[in-house]
Structure formats: C-alpha cells, structure tokens
Amino acid sequence: MSSHDIAALEAEARIAGGEVVNDFSMVVATVNGSGSQTSNLAIIRALFRMGLPVSGKNLFPSNIQGLPTWFTIRVSSEGFVARRDTTEILVAMNPATLVEDLQGLASNGVCFYPDDFEPGLLGRSDITYYPMPIQRLVREASPPKELRDYIANMVYVGVVARTLGIELEEIRQALDTHFQGKAKAVAMNMNVVEAAAAWAETNLTKSDPYSVRREKQTEGLILVDGNTAAALGAIYGGVSFAAWYPITPASSLAEALEDYLPRLRTDPETGKATYSIIQAEDELAAIGMAIGAGWAGARAMTSTSGPGISLMAEFSGLAFFAEVPIVIWDIQRMGPSTGLPTRTSQGDIMFIRFLGHGDTRQVMLLPGSPAECFEFGWRGFDLAERLQTPVYILSDLDLGMNLWMSEPFSFPHEPMDRGKILTAEDLERVGSFARYRDVDGDGIPYRTLPGNEHPLSPYFARGTGHSEEAVYSERPDDWENNMERLMRKHVNARELLPMPIVDKVEGAEIGLIGFGTTDPAIQEARQRLSARGISMSYMRIRAVPFADDIGRFIDQHDRVYMIEMNTDGQMRQLLQIEYPDMATRIRSLRRNNGLPLTARWITDNLLAAEEI
C-alpha cells in the first residue's frame, strides 16, 4: 500500500454523497493579539455542546502582538482528536498569510475572508469563497472604539456558524461560559454574531459540502486544557506550597493554582490560607523554595518548561541526594536553548531522566490526557512523599495549553500517602532514628519533620556525602552503601509508578510505543492501518523507570517503533539502555517540527519503514 492510499482513506468518508457532515478541519488565521481567542473558543465550545467530538489547537507565535496565529479546530464524527495535515475550511483574517494559507487548503476547500481583501490574492479556483462584510457589520454594531478589532472577530463566528450549521444558541451558551455569566459582555458579542449570521442567511448561497449536525458523542465529557487539569490535580492532591517563575507554556498551570486555591483552600474558621504560592525571582529559587518546603513537610511543587529545568539541574541533584519530596511539572516546549517557546516537543526526556551531576536518576510521569494530568497531579505528591525523591511530570505545550475533550476528573479514590514520617510518639516507641538507614529493605529511609520535639528527631540534611545518621562522611563504604540504597529505592519505585497502557494484538509482529500527546495520532494511525488489514500492538509508557511490562511488550514483538517528538529519539535511547539485548529491535519514528503529530505522518513513515 502506498502512502497515497492512506491519504485517500482519510478523504473517503468525506466525499461520499457530496456532503461532508461532522468531519473536517478548520483553520482560523489571525494576527496575534487581535483578540480572536474568544471567537475561536466560542466556536469550539459550541461544537462540543452540539455533541461533536472536537479538538482545538492554537499555533501561536512567541509575540505579544502582530505576528500570525493559527487556531485549528477539528471536528470528527469518528472521535479522532489529533491534528491533521490537511485543512478543509479557512477563515482568512490575516492578509499577510493569505496566499500561504490558501495553498494549504484541500481541494474543494472553503475560504471565508473579509470583503476588503485584494481580490487578486484569492487565486485558487477550486475553492468556495465566502466574503464577509466585517467593517460594515462592526460599524453597525458600534462597539466602544477599543473593542472594535475584538468584535470584528465575532463577525466570522456568526458567518461560519450560519454557513456550517453551528447552532447560535450554543454559541450563546459558549460565550456565557467564557464570560462567566457576565450578561453585558455576552449580549454585546452575541449581537454581532447574530447580525453576521443574519447577513449570511440573506446574502450567501451555500455551495460547499461541509456542515455540522448535532450528535450525542460528548455527553458527560468536559472540555479543558492540561495545565488547568494539572493544577486541579495538585489541589486535590493537597498541594500546600507552590513556587514558580513565569515561562511559556507553563505559566497557566501556576495561574490556575492562583485561581482555584483561594476558594478551595481557605480555612473556614480563620479565613487564612492552608497553602502558599510564591512567584520566585527565577527557577533556581522556585525549586529551592519547593525543596525547603518539602523538607519541612509541605506538599511542595513547582512548574516550568525546558529553560527552567536547565536552571533546576543543581537543585534536582540535591533533592535526589538529600531525598526531599517535591513535584516538578515540565510543560515541554521546543529546545535546545530558548528554542521555539510556543511550539510543542517531547525533548526533555533524556535531560530530566539523569538531571543532576554524578549518578542521579529521576522519576518521571508522562500524562497523555487532561484526565491523566489531574490524576498524576495528585498522585505525584503521594509518590514523592512515599519515595522521598523529586517526581517530574512531563506534559507539553499541546497538552498544557490546548483544549481537550476529556472524561470528568475522578476524585482521588485513595487516601493520601504521606510516606515514612516518624512523629515524636513514633520515635519514643522505636527508640532510635537514623535518617538514611534502610530499615525496611526497600531502600526508602524514614524521615522526621523540623519541629518534631523528640531529641532523636533532628538531622542535618545535606548534599554532601553522609552516613546513615546524616553526618558528613568521606568513608568509601558510607558512600557506596548510600548509593546502592538509592539504586534499590529507584528500582523498587517501578512497582509504585503508573503502569503502561498495553493493547496487544495477538499475532502482531509490530508493536508501536508512545507516550504523552502522541497518543491521539497513534490511535488514529492504528485504526486507519487496521482498516487496511495491518494490525499492530500499542503500548503507551506512563512512567520512568520502566515497569517490567515494558520489556515484556518489546520482547513479545518482532520489532517495535518508538514514536516520539524529539530529534534524538530520546525515549528510544532510554529503552535501549534499559534493554540492551533487544536494542536492535527498538526502532525510531521521530518528528520534531514544533507541531503536534498527525496520524498521516505516522502511517506514511511506518509504511515506508516497513516497505509496505
């Protein structure tokens, strides 16, 4: 089968009967800072409320105002939410990118454009064009001067809604959600939407095949971004201290904490906070504060992205070696260096795995959906306190900042695990304490918290070599014993971490392996291939160090493809280090262009690699 056939597969359903219902990708091309986000979110929310599986991805520049931005919305009756390579519908609000945007449209695509665009720019003849009298409708709405550009974006909402069949009442509800019930704002925006829809009704003749019709596929689901999910997870995990430094694409995680914590975690009797959030002076201080708080007994976290992780390297080694529980969220963006601050990647895997000089190994969790961001958000604290080590949670820009359909978050079904903490009463009963002694044989020592009044309790935490009693030691056996214990602890951690999700197909020679936000694209690729009689197993890794199931999966297949979004095939390298005997069976499918992976790219490259 050629890759061309696979492309045809995608288009097949679409062309049947001349009408394409609930299956297209739309791009809204605008200029950054023009206030189009409200409009785009209104469309995506309205589609979601109409029961249609939908996903939205904002491809935005590292810029406050003026550079091009594309918001892509995919509607898929089949339930696919990955990004697609092709676009059927273009809302062209940015003349600067018009030519390029038009070229990217599928044949027989649709283009909505402001009627004051230069007609000569609309070069393609296979496209259906719908002009929109934006200036006139804005003038008629006579909004306050400063809101004019912003309101202009509501015109395309009305015209697109009318042309595609998006219900205006759901647009209204979506705006109500967006403006949190502020009636005046909803009314002002809705007036323009309705005027634009009425204009389209009278003046445009529907001549394209695309439309939406109400379904019931989103009942009980929510629409949420991963950073909000992560923050809520942390809150329901009892976060009591968070320090952070602003960085794209992680800032909205800490901002969500700031948003929700005051109403959820204020002591009803005293009105005082049972948490603290500090915007630190840099990422060094952010993690330093979290470590101080974690050492003193708080459920402490920080959130950042790649450049911040670089700054946290030294402290990460300290927390690993002094065995201080903290949770660190890395919302990955494209590196190296400043890289592409507003583009997604999975490029911090190798760096974080061994973050810190010397023999440092870090625990990593790899959420693949908002629901998992929530779950790992609370579970991260349990694991950090149980293992007395930093727990890194690696999300990415796509998951963190874009809206995803999700199951509602499940309230934690397990009581909190505070790990091995000895109280004064415990010490009185036990009669001895050495901070770094492996009492239970699992490599995890006991700790006491500052303020514990028992005379046995105090110890001097340190990043220097230490004896079991936490006293400075240069003795070779102290060093070796401690490092061996840390290794034991790390190996044992595997049983406590989230297990991989395995979908094994009996008799399949090929296994696909993924993690994080490649999941929707891999799922879609598998279905496309399966429809052509090519079956492959699939495993999604959710934590490092690797559980035994991961080696077993590789062993059960003739060859596996590690699919990831970085240039070095970092997860593949980790697998090859872990399973040297099977190293040649672990192949790499990697892409790192700043955009979320598409199913098409996977199928094309898989088939090419397999010479099918």
Q: Which range touches another protein (CB under 8 A), out of 197-205, 298-306, 569-577, 591-599? A: 298-306
Q: Exposed, middle or buried by CB within 10 Å (0-12, 13-18, 19+), for 138? A: buried
- State which residue, 326 or 510, has the beta carbon closest to another protein: 326
Which of 4, 184, 272, 429 forms a contact with another protein (CB under 8 A)? Answer: 272
* The binder of another protein chosen from 270, 337, 432, 584 (CB under 8 A): 270
Pick the stretch among 18-26, 276-284, 387-395, 599-607 that binds another protein (CB under 8 A): 276-284
Residue 57 CB, nearest approach to another protein (Å) = 18
How many chain residues are in contact with another protein, going by CB under 8 A? Answer: 75
Residue closer to another protein (CB basis): 237 or 443: 237
d(CA 530, CA 222): 29
Query: Contact at 8 Å (CB) between 234 and 381?
Result: yes
Selected range binding another protein among 25-33, 228-236, 512-520, 551-559, rule: CB under 8 A: 228-236
Among 11, 122, 198, 471, binds another protein (CB under 8 A): 471
Instruction: Name which of residues 157 to 216 contact another protein (CB under 8 A).
Output: 177
Q: Is 299 in the site for another protein (CB under 8 A)?
A: yes
Residues of span 31-90 touching another protein by CB under 8 A:
48-49
The answer to whether 358 contacts another protein (rule: CB under 8 A) is no
Scanning 119-127, 142-150, 208-216, 464-472 for contacts with another protein by CB under 8 A, the matching segment is 464-472
The torsion defined by the Cα of 129, 135, 137 and 142, in degrees rounded to 10, comes to 160
300 is a contact residue toward another protein (CB under 8 A): yes
280 contacts another protein (rule: CB under 8 A) = yes
| Residues 86-105 close enough to bind another protein by CB under 8 A | none
Instruction: Candidates 67-75, 84-92, 277-285, 535-543: pick the segment binding another protein (CB under 8 A).
Output: 277-285
Both tokens assigned to 338? 């400043």
Which listed range, 55-63, 67-75, 150-158, 410-418, lies at the site for another protein (CB under 8 A)?
410-418
Closer residue to another protein, CB minimum distance, 15 or 296: 296
Neighbours of 126 (CB within 10 A): 9
CA nearest neighbour of 291 among 433, 80, 84, 463:
463
Q: Does 2 bind another protein (CB under 8 A)?
A: no
Can you tell me which residue has the tokens 């015109």?
155
Query: Inter-axis angle of helices 283-295 and 313-322, to 10 degrees?
Result: 10
What is the C-alpha to C-alpha distance for residues 304 and 283, in angstroms, rounded to an integer? 8
Output the smallest distance, CB 49 to another protein, in A.
8
Q: 10 Å Cβ neighbour count for 550?
A: 23
Q: Say whether residue 18 binds another protein (CB under 8 A).
A: no
Residue labelled with tokens 């990647």: 345
| Residue from 460, 509, 608, 612 in contact with another protein (CB under 8 A) | 460
* Position among 360, 369, 452, 566 found at the interface with another protein (CB under 8 A): 452
Query: In Å, how far are 111, 136, 395, 479 from 29, measured between CA atoms?
Result: 11, 21, 26, 59
The verdict on 244 binding another protein (CB under 8 A) reads: no
At 221, the amino acid letter reads L
Residue 485's Cβ-count burial label (10 Å; 0-12, 13-18, 19+) is: buried
When the beta carbons of 66 and 450 are compared against another protein, the nearer one is 450
Q: How far is the CB of 571 from another protein (least distance, A)?
A: 30
Q: For 189-207, b where at least 16 C-beta lie within 10 A, e where not — what string?
A: bbbbbbbbbebbeeeeeee
| Contact positions with another protein (CB under 8 A) in 472-531 | 472
Query: By C-alpha distance, which of 484, 526, 536, 485 is closest to 506?
Result: 536
The only residue of 295, 392, 436, 538 in contact with another protein, by rule CB under 8 A: 295
Q: How far is the CB of 154 from another protein (least distance, A)?
A: 22
Burial of 413 per CB tally in 10 Å (0-12, 13-18, 19+): exposed
The answer to whether 250 and 305 have CB atoms below 8 angstroms apart is: yes
